[in-house]
Structure 1
Amino acid sequence: MFFDNWHGILRVLVVGTSAYVALVAFLRLSGKRTLAKMNAFDLVVTVALGSTLATVLLTKDVALLEGLVAFLLLVMLQFIVASLSVRFGWVEAVAKSEPSALLVDGTIDDAALRRERVTRDEVLSAVRSAGIGDLSAVAAVVLETDGSFSVVGCNAAGNRSALPDSARRRA
């Protein structure tokens, strides 16, 4: 239960180090965008890379080379989708979601909450986390493409050009 044999320990040390070095090299070659977590697709790739690393480390049935091919495949697919998203709007539309305004000018949009499956309490929590205690001081709460909340106070909203269309119209 606590120890099987030295071979297993040695395998984890050798395969773990090799897999880690290879993963870092692949990530450096593919660029910063690979782990940016800018949207749900990026998050899935990041989690899959971590899961693959754990599988290679702890599963004796998965050879190091198979794990390296899996790393390379995930990194290449992410690179391809990100590159195509920059060039073709339809690829971006398939791979990424749009940000959504959940609260505009102090008023919570209940339809947007239902559509995005977000509760009123989650929006209020995001507002409080931004250090704001009065909804009338909030120009917008935006559910970003990566699932995080952005809270924009009225004093920081400016001309609202950075906000989703639904939050700009009410300005």
Structure 2
Amino acid sequence: MLDWVDIVVRSFIFLITLFLLTKWFLGKKQLSQLSFFEYVTGITIGSIAAEVTMGLERNIMHGLISMSIWSLVPFAIGLVSLKSKKVRDFAEGKARIIIKDGKIMEDNLKKERYTIDELLEQLRNKNVFEVSDVEYAVLEPNGHLSVLLKKENQPLTAKDLQIKVAPIKEPQTVIMDGNILDEPLSNRGLNRGWLNEELDKAGVSLDNVFLAQVDSYGQLTMDLYDDKIQVPSPQEKPLLLASLKKCQADLEMFALQTESKDAQRAYNKNADRLTHIINKLKPMLHV
């Protein structure tokens, strides 16, 4: 066999082998998520593949066997580490506290061979510019810094303000590249008839829709191929809220207009009930 043909064949064999071993060995991990052991193993497997690919005098089977061993050993260690924290800490490393109660743990910083400049850079990447604002910071095994700000420096949440908010459902993409996706529609309990009706309301043709999604409230939002066309915002929630407020105002007006005490009490009672309902629904209907 000609040398260049041999190299082409070897390259394809090792390319496929590397792809399969990497997919099996690393799964969905990104490069930044690899442990030191996995990183070294990946480099070694790549070096073996390159050496056997270009070294025509080398036996291709020897290279495949070596790559398989270098893949099987980390895989076995990974299985053992699932049940043993000691093995997991040894193979993958463990998190170390770097900042506690606004104080830098210098000894831990030295153990990780981490400079103060690197620490400050990591903090700035998380929009933290003062160490004293940090309650807790942990250097993870993959090198990322996890930061918990002190309570007074954390942004306010709806829970802090004791405000009830509506639960959020996963948005479903129902149109992509002008094609209707039936499965996401059925996941939200909708059908093509509803979708076509919503498109008619917006005055948009299916062919002009690049992307359309149903949000957690069942409203359709669209992105069109023609960006010059302005798609009206969904009005279901504002209309429903306005209708409820109108009904509540009508009940109060009826109570003022009637001369019957019983009727006044009934109108006021129902107006108060509707006010209570509106207050509960406001987080869901707010836009």
TM-score by length of structure 2 reads 0.46
Counterpart residue type for residue 115 of structure 1: K
Asked if structure 1 preserves the Cα contact closer than 8 Å seen for 2:52 and 2:58, the reply is yes
Deviation at 1:62, TM superposition (A): 3.0
Output the amino acid matched with 2:14. A
Cα 1:38–1:62 change in 2 (3 A) is same
CA distance in 2, matches of 1:72, 1:88: 24
Bigger shift: 103-112 or 15-24? 103-112
Cα 1:29–1:151 shift into 2, 3 Å: closer
Alpha-carbon distance in structure 1 between the residues aligned to 2:133 and 2:49:
45
The residue identity in structure 1 corresponding to 2:123 is: V
Aligned to 1:84: 80
- Percent identity of paired positions between Structure 1 and Structure 2: 21
State which structure, 1 or 2, has the greater radius of gyration over its C-alpha atoms.
2
| Residue pairs, 1:51-70, within 5 angstroms | 51-70=47-66
Higher helix share: 1
Please say which of residues 75-84 and 102-111 is displaced more in the overlay: 102-111
CA apart distance, 1:56:
2.3
**What is the SS of the residue equivalent to 2:14?**
helix
- Residue 129 (structure 1) aligns with: 125
Higher RCO structure (Cα 8 Å, ≥6 apart): 1
Q: 1:61 to 1:34 in 2, by over 3 A?
A: farther
CA 72–61 in structure 1, closer or farther in 2 if over 3 Å, else same: same
**2:96 aligned to which of 95, 100, 103:** 100
User: Structure 2: how far apart are the matches of 1:70 and 1:35?
Assistant: 24
The worse-fitting range, judged by mean Cα deviation, of 133-142 and 42-51 is 133-142
CA drift of 1:84 comes to 0.8
Residues of 2 paired with 1:79 and 1:34: CA distance? 14
Question: Judging changes above 3 Å, is the alpha-carbon distance between structure 1 residues 138 and 90 closer, same or farther for their aligned structure 2 residues?
Answer: closer
Correspondence 1:10-159 to 2 at 5 A = 10-30=5-25, 32=27, 37-146=33-142, 148-154=143-149, 155=154
| 1: CA distance, partners of 2:57 / 2:103 | 55
| Greater shift in the superposed pair: 34-43 or 19-28 | 34-43
Give the aligned CA root-mean-square deviation in angstroms: 2.6
Structure 1 residue 19 displacement after superposition: 0.6
SS of the equivalent of 2:82 reads helix
